[in-house]
Amino acid sequence: YTDPQVVHVGLHAAEAVAVAGTGRRVLVASMPLLWVARALETDETRGMLKAVVDGDTGLILGFEAVGPEAGEMMAVVQMAMVGGVGWRTLREMVFAHPSWAEGLNNLWSGLEEV
């Protein structure tokens, strides 16, 4: 284990583009941990969240995070990936406030095409 935690599940952006092929859209969102309410409350703002999604289906293809409890945030995303739950559902999910997972509500606002 590391402090802060460093986690990754699924595909990186370059891998997703290679797998997607021509005509498929791959979107990436990233944000600093500073935008997570729990990070501000605990004064542990070093870190980031990043996600890779299929721009056509909305499915999450990959996720990485650096920060306190990054593994807990990854577990939420990993369950969504395995269950076929898209990023829009996580954006609208009502998480406890303040919590680390609550950062997943804000992450998707920065989606950009790769």
What is the number of other CB atoms lying within 10 angstroms of the CB of residue 71? 15
97 annotated active-site:
yes
d(CA 4, CA 65): 10
Kindly report the CATH number assigned to the domain that includes residue 39: 3.30.390.30
> Given this model, what pLDDT does residue 39 score?
97
Range of the domain at 62: 5-113
Give the side-chain half-sphere CA count within 13 A for 23: 0
Active-site position among 97, 108, 113, 114: 97
Supply the pLDDT for residue 112.
95
Number of domains in the chain: 1
Q: Per residue of the chain (114 residues), give pLDDT as tens.
A: 799 999 999 999 999 999 887 778 999 999 999 999 999 999 999 999 999 999 999 999 999 999 999 999 999 999 999 999 999 999 999 999 999 999 999 999 999 998
Backbone angles phi, psi at 25, to 5 degrees: -100, 130
